[in-house]
């Protein structure tokens, strides 16, 4: 079967030819001045992409999860308290990791499909008059449900209660695709990964800290192992790595940043919004519901879609893969089989996403969902087409 189709999982994402070529290099010396020249401009580009020209940035071998761990071990110590919202699988995994590292996690439960509940966060912070909560852990874009939380509002809840806790944000599936304003939102630690908006294979964790967070990390005497960010910041500022980096991915990251800045970050964000709206138009035309409870929560990088009673989300994903050689995301979490997900982030055009919608639609049709072939594709076409219909 010809299987050179775009991929529609919410990471890893499609890897453009330009980045594949940027990574296809013979072995080279990671301590050479030539490699230093690759490293040096990366920090400035990342500061722009994270939305904070003064952020301290580090990138190192690992995945998004490694990035989380680096934030937790650098900024916190076992026994400290953190406050976290559980509203999906990635927030759940971050909580589990924090607990494994010996942190005491105060958990605010929210329904899967909802964003971070700001009033409850504010109450929890207000009740903590002794300021025992050292950090708030938030997931900007919950990839399991396709829900975007309001990070600016979490900052307001912290400021409104004059609470000094750090604001640590998982931006793995939003940074480089959706607006992320680290400085404006007062984010102290932000985490991204190479395999989502950066359009690269998995393998790099990308982390940014505020001045306050870096100072705390440098003063934190707890064990950090090979995830010591201060050592990384110092080396990267000098154009080198403390240990052998994933050289090909670092070359790819430099090129990816160039691609994103060439297109323009506002244009990248607008393209993601535009593509996401086309996907949502199709979902509505199929008569299906997103998991996200209301439009202001809709993610521009992934749509999680509920299947009607009696249908299986996993069957949708399997059929699309086996029959049409196209990959969509399975549902995650307790309700997993009730959901499938369309990832629409990274290197994606209108034409590419139309092919995904056409296959998703044929798949639903093959599996006896009640829909008219072409309805979803036509809805997306109407959204994408220059000519508005009368």
Ligand X SMILES: *Cc1c(COP(=O)(O)O)cnc(C)c1O
The annotation places the binding site for substrate at 341
Distances (CA, A) of 381 to 189, 248, 277, 353, 356: 39, 38, 11, 10, 13
Min CB(64)–ligand X separation in Å = 2
Does the bond joining 65 to the residue before it have cis omega, within 30 degrees of 0?
A: no
Min CB(145)–ligand X separation in Å = 10
Q: Indicate the residue among 143 and 303 with the shorter CB distance to ligand X.
A: 143
User: CA-to-CA distance for 27 and 157, rounded, in angstroms?
Assistant: 49
Q: Indicate the residue among 139 and 285 with the shorter CB distance to ligand X.
A: 139
Residue 239 and residue 232 in contact, taking contact as beta carbons nearer than 8 Å: no
Residues ≥6 apart with Cβ < 8 Å to 382? 281, 388, 389
Q: Indicate the residue among 92 and 188 with the shorter CB distance to ligand X.
A: 92
Min CB(176)–ligand X separation in Å = 12
Token couple for 335: 């309700």
Q: Indicate the residue among 11 and 117 with the shorter CB distance to ligand X.
A: 11
Q: Which residues bind ligand X (CB under 6 A)?
A: 11, 63-65, 90, 139, 141, 143, 170, 172-173, 193, 202
Phi, psi of 58 (to 5 degrees): -140, 145
Q: Indicate the residue among 89 and 326 with the shorter CB distance to ligand X.
A: 89
Residues ≥6 apart with Cβ < 8 Å to 32? none
What residues are paired with 342 via a beta bridge? 303
Q: Which among 142, 210, 213, 214 is positioned nearest to 182, based on CA atoms?
A: 210
Min CB(174)–ligand X separation in Å = 8
Min CB(248)–ligand X separation in Å = 17
Q: Indicate the residue among 51 and 193 with the shorter CB distance to ligand X.
A: 193
Binding site feature residues = 341
User: CA-to-CA distance for 138 and 169, rounded, in angstroms?
Assistant: 5
CB-based closest residue to ligand X: 64
Min CB(304)–ligand X separation in Å = 12
340 C-beta neighbours (distance < 10 Å), count: 29
Residue 172 and residue 143 in contact, taking contact as beta carbons nearer than 8 Å: yes
């Amino acid at each position: 079967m010809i299987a050179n189709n775009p991929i529609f999982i919410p990471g890893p994402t499609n890897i453009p030819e330009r980045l594949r070529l940027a990574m296809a290099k013979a072995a080279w010396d990671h301590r050479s001045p030539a490699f230093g020249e690759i490293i040096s401009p990366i920090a400035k580009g990342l500061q722009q992409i994270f939305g904070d020209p003064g952020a301290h940035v580090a990138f190192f071998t690992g995945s998004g999860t490694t990035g989380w761990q680096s934030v937790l071990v650098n900024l916190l110590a076992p026994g400290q308290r953190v406050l976290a919202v559980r509203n999906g699988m990635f927030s759940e995994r971050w909580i589990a990791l924090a607990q494994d590292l010996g942190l005491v996690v105060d958990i605010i439960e929210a329904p899967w499909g909802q964003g971070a509940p700001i009033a409850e966060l504010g109450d929890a912070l207000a009740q903590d008059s002794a300021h025992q909560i050292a950090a708030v852990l938030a997931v900007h874009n919950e990839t399991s449900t396709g829900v975007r939380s309001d990070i600016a509002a979490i900052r307001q809840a912290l400021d409104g209660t004059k609470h000094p806790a750090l604001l640590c944000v998982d931006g793995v599936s939003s940074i480089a695709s959706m607006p992320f304003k680290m400085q404006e939102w007062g984010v102290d630690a932000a985490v991204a990964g190479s395999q989502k908006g950066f359009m690269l294979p998995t393998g790099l964790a990308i982390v940014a800290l505020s001045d306050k967070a870096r100072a705390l990390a440098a003063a934190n005497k707890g064990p950090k192992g090979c995830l010591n960010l201060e050592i990384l910041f110092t080396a990267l500022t000098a154009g080198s790595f403390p240990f052998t980096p994933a050289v090909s991915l670092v070359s790819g990251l430099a090129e990816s940043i160039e691609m994103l800045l060439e297109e323009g970050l506002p244009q990248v964000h607008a393209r993601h919004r535009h593509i996401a709206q086309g996907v949502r138009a199709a979902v509505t035309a199929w008569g299906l519901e997103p998991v996200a409870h209301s439009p202001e929560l809709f993610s521009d990088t992934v749509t999680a879609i509920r299947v009607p009673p009696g249908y299986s989300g996993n069957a949708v994903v399997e059929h699309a893969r086996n029959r049409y050689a196209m990959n969509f995301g399975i549902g995650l979490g307790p309700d997993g089989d009730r959901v499938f997900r369309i990832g629409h982030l990274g290197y994606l055009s209108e034409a590419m996403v139309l092919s995904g919608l056409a296959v998703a639609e044929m798949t639903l049709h093959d599996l006896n969902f009640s829909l008219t072939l072409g309805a979803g594709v036509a809805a997306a076409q109407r959204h994408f087409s220059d000519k508005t219909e009368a």
